[in-house]
Structure 1
Amino acid sequence: MDNSGMLRGLLCLGLVAVLCHGQTSQEVSSEDFGVDRSDVGAERDFIEAMERILGKMHDRVSPPEKRGIQMCGMGDRCAMKFGPRIGKLCDCGRGANCNSYLLKCI
């Protein structure tokens, strides 16, 4: 009995050791990648420049509401049939298309 209890204990200890072996801290520092502190300033400048560029691009691109075409939700009516032609009521959101048979965003 004593040997089987010690064997079970060793097996459990071995299992815990194997399971815990790969776990490490999720925190990452610049030292892990060998980054100098001088590179951090250059990186910050680069990020600020990218933010300025993206801000300018955002001002140039007008959202669909400013162009006069509203956005429809999924399942909303997005077009109307005028005889052989189809007129557009609104634009379907991302990932949706206006079905020309149902005239709804799907």
Structure 2
Amino acid sequence: MESSAVLRGVLVVSLLVVLCHGQTSQEVSAEDLEVGRNEPAADRELVEALEVLLDKVHNRVSMEKRGSIPLCGIGDRCAMKFGPRIGKLCDCGRGANCNSYLLKCI
């Protein structure tokens, strides 16, 4: 007898949780739509400010690395063999390595 009462109580509570969860998600989505209308102008301003900052940082970094080795793509020659030594022509990009046998970025 007691187990059926506990089972009924659990079912009622789970039903209330499911019903309440659906109501809160509808209210949140309506609020998000109202707030979303005013944000694109602010977002554009932030993006423009970040682009200006990134350009300044990129220019500063490029001036510091004047003597650095240029980047080469996958499949390009990245080294030249000078007898027993190997010299670099360019640096392979991220995720690629210069193969010392083929002398190409792989």
TM-score by length of 2: 0.47
| Structure holding more helix per residue | 2
